[in-house]
A and B are shown apart, each in its own frame.
Chain A
Amino acid sequence: MTVENSRFNIVPSPPRSTDAMERLSRLQTELVSEAMRRAVHDASAAMAHRLGEPLTALLFVLHEIKQASERFNGAETPLISVRENVDMALREVERICDIIEQVAEPGETLTDAEAAVARGREAIDMWARDRRDRPDSLVSPVDRAAHRHSLTPREQEVLALVIDGLSNKQGGHRLGISTRTFEAHRAHLMGKLGARNAADLIRKTSSREQ
Chain B
Amino acid sequence: MHETRARDVRRHGPSDVMRVLVVEDDPSVGAAIRMTLEREGYDTVLALDADAGTATFESLYFDLVIVDIFMPGKSGLATIAEFRQRAPAVPILAMSGFRFRESMDPGLDFLAMAARVGATGCLRKPFAPQQLMRAVCASLDPSPRVLAP
**A residues apposed to B, CB below 8 Å:** 1, 3-10, 12, 14-15, 18, 21-22, 24-26, 28-29, 32-33, 35-36, 38-39, 45, 48-61, 63-64, 88, 91-92, 95
B146:A7 contact, CB within 8 angstroms: yes
Interface presence of B117 (CB below 8 A): yes
Chain B nearest CB from A154 CB (Å) reads 59
Q: Which 10 A-B pairs have the closest CB atoms?
A: A52-B125, A60-B32, A55-B126, A57-B28, A48-B98, A49-B97, A8-B115, A12-B118, A56-B126, A59-B128
A64: which B residues are within 8 A, CB to CB? Answer: 35
A57:B85 contact, CB within 8 angstroms: no
B85:A5 contact, CB within 8 angstroms: no
What is the 8 Å Cβ interface bit string for chain B, positions 22-33, against chain A (1 contact, 0 not)?
A: 000010110111
B35:A28 contact, CB within 8 angstroms: no
What is the 8 Å Cβ interface bit string for chain B, positions 112-149, against chain A (1 contact, 0 not)?
A: 01011111111111111111001100110000011110
Q: Which residue of A lies closest to B107 (CB)?
A: A35
Distance, CA A22 to CA B81, complexed state (A): 10
Interface presence of B70 (CB below 8 A): yes
Distance, CA A64 to CA B31, complexed state (A): 12
A28:B113 contact, CB within 8 angstroms: yes
A29:B74 contact, CB within 8 angstroms: yes
- Tell me whether A49 and B85 are in contact in the complex, defined as CB-CB below 8 angstroms, given that A1-B126, A32-B110, A60-B129 are known contacts: no
Interface presence of B82 (CB below 8 A): yes
B29:A53 contact, CB within 8 angstroms: yes
Q: Which residue of A lies closest to B128 (CB)?
A: A59
In the complex, how many residues of chain B place their beta carbon closer than 8 angstroms to a beta carbon of chain A?
Answer: 54
List which B22-70 residues lie within 8 A (CB) of chain A: 26, 28-29, 31-33, 35-36, 70
B17: which A residues are within 8 A, CB to CB? Answer: none
Chain A nearest CB from B1 CB (Å) reads 9
Chain A nearest CB from B144 CB (Å) reads 10
- Tell me whether A52 and B98 are in contact in the complex, defined as CB-CB below 8 angstroms, given that A59-B128, A64-B35 are known contacts: yes
Q: Which residue of A lies closest to B144 (CB)?
A: A9
A29:B75 contact, CB within 8 angstroms: yes
A38: which B residues are within 8 A, CB to CB? Answer: 105, 108
A25: which B residues are within 8 A, CB to CB? Answer: 78, 81-82
A53: which B residues are within 8 A, CB to CB? Answer: 26, 28-29, 97, 125-126
16 A/B residue pairs, CB under 8 Å, sorted by A: A4-B124, A5-B127, A7-B120, A8-B120, A8-B147, A21-B81, A25-B81, A49-B99, A51-B98, A56-B29, A56-B127, A58-B126, A59-B126, A59-B128, A60-B36, A60-B129
B78:A57 contact, CB within 8 angstroms: no
Q: Which residue of A lies closest to B68 (CB)?
A: A53
- A3, A8, A45 interface centre (most CB from chain B within 10 Å): A8
Interface presence of B77 (CB below 8 A): yes
Distance, CA A24 to CA B116, complexed state (A): 11
Chain A nearest CB from B24 CB (Å) reads 9
A55:B81 contact, CB within 8 angstroms: no
Chain B nearest CB from A2 CB (Å) reads 10
Chain B nearest CB from A48 CB (Å) reads 4
Distance, CA A6 to CA B31, complexed state (A): 24
